[in-house]
Amino acid sequence: MVHSLAIAGIIVARQVLGQYLLKFPVKLKEIKLVLSMPKLLKAKDIIDAELPRLTQKCHELEQRGLKPNLNVVLVGDNPASHSYVKNKKRMCEKIGAQFVLHHLASDIPETEFLNLLGKINNDKAVTGCFVQLPIPKHLQHLDVTQMINPTKDVDGFHLNTVCDLYLGNLDKVIPCTPKGIITMLRKNNIQIEGADIVIIGRSHIVGKPLSLILEGLNATVTLCHSRTKDLKKHTRSADIVISAVGRAEFLNADYLKDGSTVIDVGINKTDKGLVGDVDFASATEKAIAITPVPGGVGPMTVFSLMENLLMTTETILKERS
Protein backbone atom coordinates (compact mmCIF):
# COMPACT_ATOMS: atom_id res chain seq x y z
CA MET A 1 0.00 0.00 0.00
CA VAL A 2 2.77 2.43 0.99
CA HIS A 3 4.72 1.52 -2.15
CA SER A 4 1.64 2.16 -4.34
CA LEU A 5 1.06 5.57 -2.75
CA ALA A 6 4.71 6.47 -3.30
CA ILE A 7 4.44 5.58 -6.99
CA ALA A 8 1.26 7.63 -7.38
CA GLY A 9 2.89 10.58 -5.62
CA ILE A 10 5.92 10.59 -7.89
CA ILE A 11 3.79 10.30 -11.04
CA VAL A 12 1.67 13.28 -9.97
CA ALA A 13 4.79 15.24 -9.02
CA ARG A 14 6.28 14.63 -12.47
CA GLN A 15 3.07 15.80 -14.16
CA VAL A 16 2.79 18.96 -12.05
CA LEU A 17 6.48 19.71 -12.46
CA GLY A 18 6.15 19.42 -16.20
CA GLN A 19 3.56 22.20 -16.23
CA TYR A 20 5.76 24.52 -14.15
CA LEU A 21 8.80 23.82 -16.28
CA LEU A 22 7.04 25.46 -19.19
CA LYS A 23 7.24 28.70 -17.24
CA PHE A 24 10.50 28.20 -15.38
CA PRO A 25 12.66 25.87 -17.45
CA VAL A 26 16.02 27.09 -16.17
CA LYS A 27 15.29 27.42 -12.46
CA LEU A 28 13.60 24.04 -12.15
CA LYS A 29 15.89 22.06 -14.42
CA GLU A 30 17.82 20.46 -11.56
CA ILE A 31 14.63 19.67 -9.64
CA LYS A 32 13.23 17.88 -12.68
CA LEU A 33 16.37 15.76 -12.92
CA VAL A 34 16.10 14.69 -9.28
CA LEU A 35 12.41 13.78 -9.49
CA SER A 36 12.82 11.91 -12.75
CA MET A 37 15.63 9.65 -11.49
CA PRO A 38 14.45 6.30 -10.14
CA LYS A 39 15.86 4.57 -7.10
CA LEU A 40 19.02 2.69 -8.02
CA LEU A 41 18.86 -0.86 -6.66
CA LYS A 42 22.54 -1.56 -6.01
CA ALA A 43 23.74 -4.87 -4.63
CA LYS A 44 26.60 -3.30 -2.69
CA ASP A 45 24.28 -1.53 -0.26
CA ILE A 46 22.58 -4.80 0.68
CA ILE A 47 25.74 -6.92 0.77
CA ASP A 48 27.63 -4.42 2.95
CA ALA A 49 24.75 -4.43 5.44
CA GLU A 50 24.30 -8.22 5.47
CA LEU A 51 27.92 -9.38 5.36
CA PRO A 52 28.45 -9.21 9.16
CA ARG A 53 25.45 -11.52 9.67
CA LEU A 54 26.85 -14.10 7.24
CA THR A 55 30.33 -13.84 8.77
CA GLN A 56 28.93 -14.41 12.26
CA LYS A 57 26.87 -17.39 11.10
CA CYS A 58 29.93 -18.90 9.39
CA HIS A 59 31.93 -18.54 12.61
CA GLU A 60 29.12 -20.08 14.68
CA LEU A 61 28.96 -23.13 12.40
CA GLU A 62 32.71 -23.61 12.67
CA GLN A 63 32.50 -23.34 16.45
CA ARG A 64 29.82 -26.05 16.44
CA GLY A 65 32.17 -28.39 14.56
CA LEU A 66 31.70 -27.85 10.83
CA LYS A 67 33.29 -25.06 8.82
CA PRO A 68 31.41 -24.08 5.64
CA ASN A 69 33.43 -25.51 2.77
CA LEU A 70 32.63 -24.75 -0.85
CA ASN A 71 34.14 -26.92 -3.61
CA VAL A 72 33.93 -25.73 -7.22
CA VAL A 73 34.72 -27.85 -10.26
CA LEU A 74 35.94 -25.82 -13.24
CA VAL A 75 36.68 -27.63 -16.50
CA GLY A 76 38.72 -25.76 -19.10
CA ASP A 77 39.71 -22.11 -19.36
CA ASN A 78 36.58 -20.16 -20.22
CA PRO A 79 37.45 -16.53 -19.26
CA ALA A 80 33.94 -15.74 -18.04
CA SER A 81 33.90 -18.87 -15.88
CA HIS A 82 37.24 -17.91 -14.34
CA SER A 83 35.80 -14.49 -13.48
CA TYR A 84 32.68 -15.98 -11.89
CA VAL A 85 34.72 -18.44 -9.83
CA LYS A 86 37.05 -15.67 -8.67
CA ASN A 87 34.07 -13.66 -7.39
CA LYS A 88 32.78 -16.67 -5.46
CA LYS A 89 36.19 -17.32 -3.94
CA ARG A 90 36.44 -13.69 -2.85
CA MET A 91 33.03 -13.82 -1.16
CA CYS A 92 33.95 -17.04 0.66
CA GLU A 93 37.05 -15.33 2.00
CA LYS A 94 34.99 -12.38 3.20
CA ILE A 95 32.66 -14.49 5.34
CA GLY A 96 35.38 -16.89 6.52
CA ALA A 97 34.30 -19.98 4.57
CA GLN A 98 36.76 -22.42 3.03
CA PHE A 99 37.01 -22.44 -0.76
CA VAL A 100 38.52 -25.25 -2.85
CA LEU A 101 38.83 -25.03 -6.64
CA HIS A 102 39.23 -28.19 -8.71
CA HIS A 103 40.53 -26.82 -12.02
CA LEU A 104 40.50 -29.58 -14.64
CA ALA A 105 41.88 -29.74 -18.17
CA SER A 106 39.32 -29.24 -20.93
CA ASP A 107 40.06 -32.71 -22.31
CA ILE A 108 39.71 -34.57 -19.02
CA PRO A 109 38.33 -38.10 -19.55
CA GLU A 110 34.74 -38.59 -18.46
CA THR A 111 35.68 -41.29 -15.96
CA GLU A 112 38.12 -38.98 -14.15
CA PHE A 113 35.54 -36.22 -14.07
CA LEU A 114 32.92 -38.53 -12.57
CA ASN A 115 35.39 -39.93 -10.06
CA LEU A 116 36.14 -36.43 -8.81
CA LEU A 117 32.44 -35.63 -8.38
CA GLY A 118 32.04 -38.85 -6.41
CA LYS A 119 34.90 -37.94 -4.08
CA ILE A 120 33.51 -34.45 -3.47
CA ASN A 121 30.03 -35.83 -2.80
CA ASN A 122 31.42 -38.27 -0.22
CA ASP A 123 33.90 -35.91 1.41
CA LYS A 124 32.51 -35.12 4.87
CA ALA A 125 34.46 -31.88 5.03
CA VAL A 126 32.69 -30.48 1.95
CA THR A 127 29.38 -28.76 2.75
CA GLY A 128 28.59 -27.25 -0.65
CA CYS A 129 29.64 -27.88 -4.24
CA PHE A 130 28.78 -27.23 -7.86
CA VAL A 131 30.19 -27.58 -11.37
CA GLN A 132 30.81 -24.24 -13.05
CA LEU A 133 29.02 -24.15 -16.40
CA PRO A 134 29.56 -24.39 -19.28
CA ILE A 135 31.49 -27.65 -19.51
CA PRO A 136 33.30 -29.03 -22.61
CA LYS A 137 31.26 -30.64 -25.35
CA HIS A 138 32.36 -34.20 -24.58
CA LEU A 139 30.82 -33.88 -21.09
CA GLN A 140 27.64 -32.03 -22.00
CA HIS A 141 25.56 -35.20 -22.24
CA LEU A 142 25.96 -35.44 -18.45
CA ASP A 143 23.36 -33.70 -16.31
CA VAL A 144 25.86 -32.48 -13.75
CA THR A 145 23.21 -30.66 -11.74
CA GLN A 146 21.75 -34.04 -10.76
CA MET A 147 25.15 -35.55 -9.97
CA ILE A 148 25.69 -33.29 -7.00
CA ASN A 149 24.77 -34.62 -3.57
CA PRO A 150 21.41 -32.84 -3.00
CA THR A 151 22.42 -32.01 0.57
CA LYS A 152 25.40 -30.07 -0.84
CA ASP A 153 23.50 -28.45 -3.74
CA VAL A 154 24.27 -24.76 -3.20
CA ASP A 155 23.24 -23.82 -6.75
CA GLY A 156 19.71 -25.05 -6.12
CA PHE A 157 19.31 -26.94 -9.40
CA HIS A 158 18.80 -30.47 -8.10
CA LEU A 159 15.37 -32.03 -8.64
CA ASN A 160 14.88 -32.15 -4.86
CA THR A 161 15.07 -28.36 -4.82
CA VAL A 162 12.75 -28.05 -7.80
CA CYS A 163 10.18 -30.21 -5.99
CA ASP A 164 10.46 -27.99 -2.90
CA LEU A 165 9.82 -24.89 -5.01
CA TYR A 166 6.83 -26.51 -6.69
CA LEU A 167 5.39 -27.40 -3.28
CA GLY A 168 5.98 -23.86 -2.01
CA ASN A 169 8.76 -24.73 0.45
CA LEU A 170 10.65 -21.44 0.26
CA ASP A 171 12.59 -21.75 3.53
CA LYS A 172 15.12 -24.14 2.00
CA VAL A 173 17.86 -23.69 -0.62
CA ILE A 174 16.64 -21.57 -3.55
CA PRO A 175 18.43 -21.06 -6.91
CA CYS A 176 20.87 -18.21 -6.43
CA THR A 177 19.77 -15.62 -8.99
CA PRO A 178 16.04 -15.84 -8.15
CA LYS A 179 16.93 -15.74 -4.45
CA GLY A 180 19.06 -12.63 -5.00
CA ILE A 181 16.22 -10.90 -6.83
CA ILE A 182 13.76 -11.64 -4.02
CA THR A 183 16.24 -10.32 -1.45
CA MET A 184 16.77 -7.16 -3.48
CA LEU A 185 13.03 -6.49 -3.72
CA ARG A 186 12.45 -7.13 -0.03
CA LYS A 187 15.40 -5.07 1.21
CA ASN A 188 14.18 -2.13 -0.85
CA ASN A 189 10.61 -2.48 0.45
CA ILE A 190 9.20 -3.20 -2.98
CA GLN A 191 5.89 -4.98 -2.57
CA ILE A 192 5.67 -8.50 -3.98
CA GLU A 193 2.34 -9.73 -2.60
CA GLY A 194 -0.46 -8.72 -4.93
CA ALA A 195 1.90 -7.21 -7.49
CA ASP A 196 1.58 -7.88 -11.22
CA ILE A 197 5.00 -9.19 -12.24
CA VAL A 198 6.23 -10.00 -15.74
CA ILE A 199 9.29 -12.21 -16.17
CA ILE A 200 10.87 -12.21 -19.63
CA GLY A 201 12.77 -15.47 -20.16
CA ARG A 202 11.83 -19.00 -19.10
CA SER A 203 15.21 -20.60 -18.38
CA HIS A 204 15.58 -23.30 -15.75
CA ILE A 205 18.16 -21.10 -14.00
CA VAL A 206 16.15 -17.87 -13.63
CA GLY A 207 12.73 -17.53 -15.24
CA LYS A 208 10.99 -20.77 -14.26
CA PRO A 209 12.16 -21.03 -10.65
CA LEU A 210 11.60 -17.31 -10.12
CA SER A 211 8.01 -17.60 -11.34
CA LEU A 212 7.34 -20.38 -8.81
CA ILE A 213 8.90 -18.39 -5.97
CA LEU A 214 6.96 -15.22 -6.77
CA GLU A 215 3.69 -17.14 -7.04
CA GLY A 216 4.47 -18.65 -3.65
CA LEU A 217 4.82 -15.09 -2.33
CA ASN A 218 1.33 -14.26 -3.68
CA ALA A 219 2.30 -12.21 -6.72
CA THR A 220 0.43 -12.53 -10.01
CA VAL A 221 3.10 -13.75 -12.41
CA THR A 222 3.24 -13.73 -16.21
CA LEU A 223 6.11 -15.69 -17.73
CA CYS A 224 6.94 -14.37 -21.20
CA HIS A 225 9.36 -15.82 -23.76
CA SER A 226 10.46 -15.74 -27.40
CA ARG A 227 7.05 -16.97 -28.60
CA THR A 228 5.02 -14.48 -26.58
CA LYS A 229 2.72 -12.41 -28.77
CA ASP A 230 2.74 -8.65 -28.11
CA LEU A 231 5.26 -8.54 -25.27
CA LYS A 232 4.57 -4.86 -24.65
CA LYS A 233 0.94 -5.63 -23.86
CA HIS A 234 2.13 -7.63 -20.85
CA THR A 235 5.00 -5.42 -19.67
CA ARG A 236 3.03 -2.17 -19.90
CA SER A 237 0.62 -3.39 -17.24
CA ALA A 238 3.28 -4.82 -14.90
CA ASP A 239 4.25 -3.37 -11.54
CA ILE A 240 7.58 -5.20 -11.78
CA VAL A 241 9.36 -6.25 -14.98
CA ILE A 242 12.21 -8.76 -14.75
CA SER A 243 14.24 -9.39 -17.90
CA ALA A 244 16.55 -12.40 -18.27
CA VAL A 245 16.97 -13.04 -21.98
CA GLY A 246 20.50 -11.87 -22.85
CA ARG A 247 19.46 -9.34 -25.48
CA ALA A 248 21.38 -6.10 -25.14
CA GLU A 249 19.35 -3.00 -24.21
CA PHE A 250 16.14 -4.07 -25.95
CA LEU A 251 13.82 -3.14 -23.06
CA ASN A 252 13.18 0.59 -23.18
CA ALA A 253 10.60 3.01 -21.76
CA ASP A 254 8.09 1.99 -24.42
CA TYR A 255 7.74 -1.38 -22.67
CA LEU A 256 7.01 0.13 -19.26
CA LYS A 257 4.26 1.86 -17.35
CA ASP A 258 4.94 4.85 -15.12
CA GLY A 259 6.09 3.84 -11.66
CA SER A 260 7.25 0.33 -12.49
CA THR A 261 10.24 -1.48 -10.99
CA VAL A 262 12.75 -2.93 -13.44
CA ILE A 263 15.07 -5.83 -12.59
CA ASP A 264 17.76 -6.44 -15.22
CA VAL A 265 19.29 -9.93 -15.10
CA GLY A 266 20.97 -9.72 -18.51
CA ILE A 267 24.72 -9.41 -18.93
CA ASN A 268 25.74 -8.67 -22.52
CA LYS A 269 29.14 -7.80 -23.95
CA THR A 270 29.06 -4.90 -26.42
CA ASP A 271 31.56 -2.48 -27.94
CA LYS A 272 30.84 -0.06 -25.09
CA GLY A 273 31.29 -2.70 -22.40
CA LEU A 274 28.88 -4.75 -20.30
CA VAL A 275 25.23 -3.82 -20.59
CA GLY A 276 22.00 -5.43 -19.50
CA ASP A 277 18.78 -6.30 -21.30
CA VAL A 278 17.45 -2.87 -20.34
CA ASP A 279 18.12 0.42 -22.09
CA PHE A 280 18.93 2.11 -18.81
CA ALA A 281 18.72 5.74 -19.96
CA SER A 282 15.36 5.18 -21.61
CA ALA A 283 13.85 3.03 -18.85
CA THR A 284 14.59 5.64 -16.18
CA GLU A 285 11.97 7.87 -17.83
CA LYS A 286 9.26 5.66 -16.34
CA ALA A 287 10.79 3.35 -13.74
CA ILE A 288 10.57 4.20 -10.06
CA ALA A 289 13.33 1.70 -9.24
CA ILE A 290 15.87 -0.10 -11.43
CA THR A 291 18.94 -2.33 -11.12
CA PRO A 292 22.22 -1.27 -12.74
CA VAL A 293 24.41 -3.52 -14.89
CA PRO A 294 26.96 -4.25 -13.60
CA GLY A 295 26.40 -3.92 -9.86
CA GLY A 296 22.83 -5.18 -9.60
CA VAL A 297 21.63 -8.77 -9.86
CA GLY A 298 25.08 -10.29 -10.52
CA PRO A 299 26.61 -9.63 -7.08
CA MET A 300 23.31 -10.62 -5.43
CA THR A 301 23.65 -14.04 -7.08
CA VAL A 302 27.05 -14.59 -5.47
CA PHE A 303 25.73 -13.32 -2.14
CA SER A 304 22.85 -15.79 -2.33
CA LEU A 305 25.32 -18.60 -3.02
CA MET A 306 26.95 -17.81 0.33
CA GLU A 307 23.57 -17.87 2.06
CA ASN A 308 22.89 -21.27 0.50
CA LEU A 309 26.30 -22.54 1.60
CA LEU A 310 25.50 -21.64 5.20
CA MET A 311 22.13 -23.38 4.87
CA THR A 312 23.60 -26.62 3.50
CA THR A 313 26.28 -26.58 6.22
CA GLU A 314 23.57 -26.17 8.87
CA THR A 315 21.58 -29.05 7.36
CA ILE A 316 24.59 -31.38 7.29
CA LEU A 317 25.49 -30.44 10.86
CA LYS A 318 21.97 -31.25 12.09
CA GLU A 319 21.98 -34.58 10.24
CA ARG A 320 25.18 -35.60 12.02
CA SER A 321 24.02 -34.64 15.48
Catalytic residue among 98, 152, 153, 155: 155
Per residue in 188-239, pLDDT (tens digit) is: 999 999 999 999 999 999 999 999 999 999 999 999 999 999 999 999 999 9
- CATH 3.40.50.720 describes domain 177-290: yes
Active site residue 88: yes
Check: CB of residue 274 under 8 Å from CB of residue 296.
Answer: no
Per residue in 42-51, pLDDT (tens digit) is: 999 999 999 9
What is the reported pLDDT for 10? 52
What is the reported pLDDT for 33? 45
What is the reported pLDDT for 168? 87
Chain centre distance of CA 79: 21
Backbone CA torsion sign across 239, 245, 248, 250: negative
Catalytic residue among 57, 88, 208, 286: 88
Among 29-38, 81-90, 294-303, the minimum mean pLDDT is found in 29-38
Catalytic residue among 57, 98, 132, 164: 132
Chain centre distance of CA 23: 44
In terms of CATH, what superfamily is 62-148? Leucine Dehydrogenase, chain A, domain 1 (3.40.50.10860)
What pTM was estimated for this model as a whole? 0.88
What is the reported pLDDT for 2? 45
Per residue in 131-181, pLDDT (tens digit) is: 999 999 999 999 999 999 999 999 999 999 999 999 988 889 999 999 999
Return d(Cα 295, Cα 291) in angstroms, integer: 8
